[in-house]
Structure 1
Amino acid sequence: MSYIKITKRFQDLSLEQLYQILHLRNEVFIVEQNCAFQDIDHIDQQCHHFMLYGDGKLIAYARIVPAGVVYEEASIGRIITHLSVRGTGVGIRMMDMILSDVEELLGAQPLRIGAQVWAQKFYEKFGFVKSSEIYDEDGIDHIKMIRKS
């Protein structure tokens, strides 16, 4: 599969890209994870949006959030891969690309995520360490994790 990475600020997204992003987030977070929550949260407008396409289809996404918007540190949120590519290494490739984008866009700095507990080991591979106790977010166990610059 050939991959195309695109990272854009919110105001530079095409309507089609925005639709694809919202569709994938809805498909994974709301339908697949059976979680009713307010995905559209007025944070997207302040973010860079990382999109990874495989064979012309959006297969992975994350938003890069500047420091001070959600956390004191910059953060990555809404990190997802399409069901069809899970277990293929796309998530690892995506995280490498995102971390490179973060450094290019925001400079070297600490980075925080709110991770679903089951994904802790995955994020630890990229230098994130647990920084909170388990907490419930929309019915799913999460932990905060931080990666030093």
Structure 2
Amino acid sequence: MQDQKNGNGLEWKVLKFEEFTLDELYDLMQLRSQIFVVEQDCVYLDQDGKDKKALHVLGFKGNKICAYARLFNKGDYFDACSIGRVIVAEDERRYAYGHTLMNESIKAIKEHYGEDKIKISAQKYLKKFYESHGFIQKGEEYLEDGIPHIGMLKE
């Protein structure tokens, strides 16, 4: 596990699945369901069996998870390292934690996997956000769980 404070006031942790406390895991699953199922009105199974392989980047304000992403080594999800399930709690979005979350995630991939190449499956409406972090669209738009997505790559 890696803990650190950053200038925006969040405490950042990078955890393996088995390092979660029960409370952290419950709160994370609740946050992911709130955003991906309820807020985005998308019925799908968020617990996809991949969390046990992933590294998890969490931004905490006190005990509250405000930001989250999961990371995969190359070959565990895509042929390159990847970042997914990128979320910021709705009531925390005004603080631009999404940008800090992406920076922390990119840094964690470099530190834990030794890689610079990262592939993502991005919701299309977030294209400019991911471009601001060096990602470039690769391929055509496609639907994933009824939501328009694009493949993006950072090299």
Structural mapping, 1:28-107, within 5 Å: 28-107=35-114
Query: 2:71·2:109 contact (CA, 8 Å) conserved in 1?
Result: yes
Query: 2:81·2:115 contact (CA, 8 Å) conserved in 1?
Result: no
* Length-normalised TM-score, structure 1: 0.95
Partner of 2:144: 137
Deviation at 1:72, TM superposition (A): 0.5
Once residues 114 and 18 of structure 1 are traced to their aligned partners in structure 2, the CA distance between those partners, rounded to angstroms, is 24
Deviation at 1:95, TM superposition (A): 1.1
The list of structure 1 runs, each at least 4 consecutive aligned residues, that deviate by more than 6 angstroms after superposition, is none
Partner of 2:5: none
Deviation at 1:3, TM superposition (A): 1.1
Once residues 70 and 13 of structure 1 are traced to their aligned partners in structure 2, the CA distance between those partners, rounded to angstroms, is 21
Describe the SS at the equivalent of 1:37: coil
Deviation at 1:16, TM superposition (A): 1.2
Aligned residues: 148
Partner of 1:15: 22
Q: Which runs of 5+ in 1 are unaligned?
A: none
Q: Judge which range, 43-52 or 80-89, deviates more.
A: 80-89
Q: Which runs of 5+ in 2 are unaligned?
A: 1-7
Describe the SS at the equivalent of 2:85: strand
* Length-normalised TM-score, structure 2: 0.92
Query: 1:2·1:55 contact (CA, 8 Å) conserved in 2?
Result: no
CA deviation map 1:85-119 (0-9, x unaligned)? 11321111111111111110111231000000000
Percent of residue pairs bearing the same amino acid type: 33
